[in-house]
Amino acid sequence: MGSKTLQMLIVPLASMLLLLGSTSAQLSVGYYSKTCPNAEDIVRKEMIQILAKAPSLAAPFLRMHFHDCFVRGCDGSVLLDSTSGTKAEKDAKPNLTLRGFGSVERVKAKLEKACPNTVSCADVLALMARDSVWLSKGPTWPVWLGRKDGRISIANETKQLPPPKANLTQLIQMFGVKGLDLKDLVVLSGGHTIGTAHCSSISDRLYNFTGLDNLSDVDPFLDMKYITKLRSKCSPTDTKTLIEMDPGSFKTFDNSYYKLVAKRRSAFHSDWALLTNSFTRDYVLKHANGFESEFFQDFADSMIKMGNVDVLTGSQGEIRKTCSVVNY
């Protein structure tokens, strides 16, 4: 699919203009139209090849973009390696399960060959996240480009990332400080329709929910049949086994995530928390019963909004030659 086709907006014009209100004027669709006109085509071509060989990487690319934007804004800081004096974000506990860094470097290298010192790593990650969703049969959207890469990455700042065990009050606060509202929260949670999770991230819901440490100490808000199924895969101390976030269609971007949440069969406590608020609960129940095209539209809107969180533009950052290290 060419760059002109990519710019066929899934987002209606009125919605787009509304979103632009909080977006830096230095970001734009087609930002590289003169300096690297084939940039989006290059990314798309590489993504098709990458996901053809490893389709399970789609969710990690989406997650990586999310984790990037929630810490220091969408500046590519999640891609930086630790140095002798600083432990970087990617080595912090919430990011130890991130995958796909090598693929990001692969795409960046292709862009550097075609257009040296032009396309930022932050923009590469935003484009890869978009293409991951589209190649998983989900929506596409126009990515506003022109981000610059940051030069700072601090592991301790990953405390800003919403944890799997967060309740709704915590989630609202963590999204709110990024300029994301209640609708963005419930919509972006729908990204859990693709991907996997480690048993260690849900083991407390299965074995030790309140600290009693016995087989009866389970999360009462998790469906018992689902608990039995998860226990058949996850032991109390399992840190390596992966479970499907959306069993049966974890490689397909659809609205089935909401069906699981409604049935109390979602993996994370933060997913179940969506049922504790009237607005988010109504959204879950509505989209558990269809309205997939509406969800796709909402997801596109919220991804554009998230992708513009605290971006660096102009002279605020740099264009890294290699995404894992700052320029010297």
- Please identify every residue annotated as catalytic: 67
Does the annotation flag 287 for ligand binding?
Answer: no
Does the annotation flag 73 for ligand binding?
Answer: yes
Does the annotation flag 195 for ligand binding?
Answer: no
User: Cβ atoms within 10 A of the Cβ of 22, count?
Assistant: 10
Does the annotation flag 181 for ligand binding?
Answer: no
Does the annotation flag 246 for ligand binding?
Answer: yes
Does the annotation flag 193 for ligand binding?
Answer: yes
Does the annotation flag 71 for ligand binding?
Answer: yes
Element (H, E) at 230: helix 224-231
Gap between the Cα atoms of 246 and 112, Å rounded? 36
> What is the amino acid identity at position 202?
I
Q: Which residues of 196-216 are buried (b: 16+ CB within 10 A; e: fewer)?
A: bbbbbbbbbbbbebeeeeeee
> Residue 8 — φ and ψ, nearest 5°?
-70, 110
Gap between the Cα atoms of 101 and 123, Å rounded? 14
Gap between the Cα atoms of 294 and 286, Å rounded? 10
In DSSP terms, 145 is beta-bridged to 28
State the burial class of residue 19 (Cβ atoms within 10 Å of its Cβ: 0-12, 13-18, 19+): middle
Does the annotation flag 307 for ligand binding?
Answer: no
Does the annotation flag 294 for ligand binding?
Answer: no
Does the annotation flag 46 for ligand binding?
Answer: no
The number of C-alpha atoms within 13 Å of 22 and in the hemisphere containing its C-beta is 15
Does the annotation flag 100 for ligand binding?
Answer: no
**Structural contact between residues 154 and 86, judged by C-beta atoms closer than 8 angstroms:** yes
Q: Which residues of 243-279 are buried (b: 16+ CB within 10 A; e: fewer)?
A: bbbbeebbbebbbbbbbbbbebbbbbbbbbbbbebee
DSSP sequence for 34-84? TT-TTHHHHHHHHHHHHHHH-GGGHHHHHHHHHHHHHTTSSSSGGGPPP-S
> Residue holding tokens 């990953």?
158
Annotated binding site: 68, 71, 73, 75, 77, 89, 162, 192-193, 246, 254
Annotated binding site for Ca(2+): 68, 71, 73, 75, 77, 89, 193, 246, 254
Annotated binding site for heme b: 192
